[in-house]
Amino acid sequence: MSSTAAIGTGVSDRITINANGKTDFPNSRVTLNFPTGGSLPNGEMVMTRLYNKPFGQPGVPSLSNHYWILENWGSNKTFNGLTELSFLQSGIEATGSKIYSRPVYDYEQSGWQTKSVNGTQINGGKAGDISFQNQSLIQGANQFVLAGTKVKVVADAGEDKKICLGEEVSLIGSGGNVYQWFDASGNLLGTEYILTITPVQTSSYILKVTDLNGEAASDTVQVTVLPVPDVIIIDQLLTAGTNTNINIPGNYSFHWSNGLTGPDFSTAQAGNYSVIITNTDACTQIMTFNVNLDSTSLPNIWLVQQDLLGLQNIANSDAYQWYLDDQIIPGATSQTIVPPGTGFYKTYVHYANGFEAITKPFYYKTTSIDVAQGVTLTWSPNPARHSIQI
């Protein structure tokens, strides 16, 4: 069963008009300009944009794929003719365009009227943005349809992109009102004008745009995925007094966290380190690694003999300072020491490469023979015929 009713998918705006000048209907993309001093609707007006052609079309070629319906619910059912009626994204080129209007509830082909004046391109607007001046025929509720050359839809998927593996890229499309992004296999990836992706290999993406008049176009953009450096660094074991060294071959540039900038890394200190590696495509890799100190290589104090303490594991060392109960022992700067008393001994050890260490505490207790050293014993009668016990 056919119908002549103004029914279809579309958008609409409801706006109260009680002042002269321009009134925008943002959803339907229409602007009405009421003349200064002229009568107004004094109430709500509804502008609808239907995404189909009207029933009973005017007998002219190349109509817009949409038409507009203006309803007047104000207290004044009629008003003075508009000084301007403009359309955004009408789908019709401004040059040679015409506007046809008829009463809002009319569906007859004979009801359409037009003025000889052609539409003009809106200043700074895009193709399909048209302004019609001095529309005295429009003085109340009306239907509108435009005629002329249809705007050619041009899809633009943007410039080709280059990214590094693992990076995210946003493709920005333009040229339509409805957007669809597809991969090279035809799989739908998104329906917004921006598509954000993280491809793992060089790929092409197809943008299909459709304007409000149902016209469609496509464009293709390529995203080239560049390789990143493929370097593996394992944790290192540091021996006290020596350097940990790493060399990375390849055509890279480097920035190590300890300030070095070449392919060779060296440190005498344990800790956490990182390096930024950049290849000739300006793609980077960040590696982190640990340099762990081998605790068994640290110096330690040992009892060389009853009255002498010494140091072990001191290869490559060059300076020492002994401590007794955390107090410096003046002059005690050699590898061995005759302990001056009972207590906890520690030694600061410096190595030629700048490494420093302090030994674990070593407890030493003087004995009675140690105390007797340097004491002269006398006895009588001398010589004695019996043993002497000290």
Whether 218 and 253 share a structural domain: no
> How many structural domains are present in the chain?
4
Q: Is 121 within 8 Å of 148 (Cβ atoms)?
A: no
Tens of pLDDT, residues 7-30: 778 899 999 999 999 999 999 999
Which of 204, 226, 248 is the last residue in one of the domains? 226
Whether 364 and 347 share a structural domain: yes
Whether 113 and 21 share a structural domain: yes
- Helix (H) or strand (E) holding 337, with range, is strand 336-337
What CATH number does the domain containing 321 carry? 2.60.40.10
pLDDT mean over 49-70: 87
Tens of pLDDT, residues 276-294: 999 999 999 999 999 999 9
What pLDDT, on a 0 to 100 scale, did the predictor assign at position 374?
41
Q: HSE of 284 in the Cβ direction (CA atoms, 13 Å)?
A: 10
Whether 122 and 171 share a structural domain: no
Contacts of 99 (CB under 8 A, 6+ apart): 85, 114, 115, 119, 132, 135, 144, 145, 146, 147
Contacts of 299 (CB under 8 A, 6+ apart): 240, 311, 312, 313, 314, 317, 347, 349, 357, 359
Chain center to CA of 387:
94
Which of 261, 278, 295 is the last residue in one of the domains? 295
Tens of pLDDT, residues 187-214: 999 999 999 999 999 999 999 999 877 8
Q: Is the pLDDT at 262 greater than 90, yes or no? A: yes
Tens of pLDDT, residues 60-112: 878 888 899 999 999 999 888 889 999 998 889 999 999 998 988 888 888 89
Q: Would you say residue 210 lies in a domain?
A: yes
Whether 69 and 133 share a structural domain: yes
Tens of pLDDT, residues 316-340: 999 999 999 999 999 999 999 999 9
Whether 25 and 49 share a structural domain: yes
What pLDDT, on a 0 to 100 scale, did the predictor assign at position 2?
60
Whether 185 and 266 share a structural domain: no
What CATH number does the domain containing 37 carry? 2.60.220
Which of 258, 275, 295 is the last residue in one of the domains? 295
Supply 262's token pair: 């070449």
Contacts of 234 (CB under 8 A, 6+ apart): 289
Q: Which amino acid is at 9?
A: T
Tens of pLDDT, residues 349-386: 999 999 999 999 999 998 754 443 444 444 455 555 55
Whether 329 and 348 share a structural domain: yes
Q: Would you say residue 221 lies in a domain?
A: yes
Confidence category of residue 34, pLDDT binned at 50, 70, 90: very high
Q: Would you say residue 195 lies in a domain?
A: yes
pLDDT mean over 33-53: 92
Whether 318 and 291 share a structural domain: no
Confidence category of residue 254, pLDDT binned at 50, 70, 90: very high
Whether 289 and 305 share a structural domain: no
What pLDDT, on a 0 to 100 scale, did the predictor assign at position 370?
45
What pLDDT, on a 0 to 100 scale, did the predictor assign at position 215?
83
What pLDDT, on a 0 to 100 scale, did the predictor assign at position 377?
45
Confidence category of residue 59, pLDDT binned at 50, 70, 90: confident
Confidence category of residue 51, pLDDT binned at 50, 70, 90: confident
Whether 173 and 218 share a structural domain: yes
Confidence category of residue 343, pLDDT binned at 50, 70, 90: very high
Whether 72 and 138 share a structural domain: yes
Structural domain for 184, as ranges: 161-226
Q: Would you say residue 380 lies in a domain?
A: no
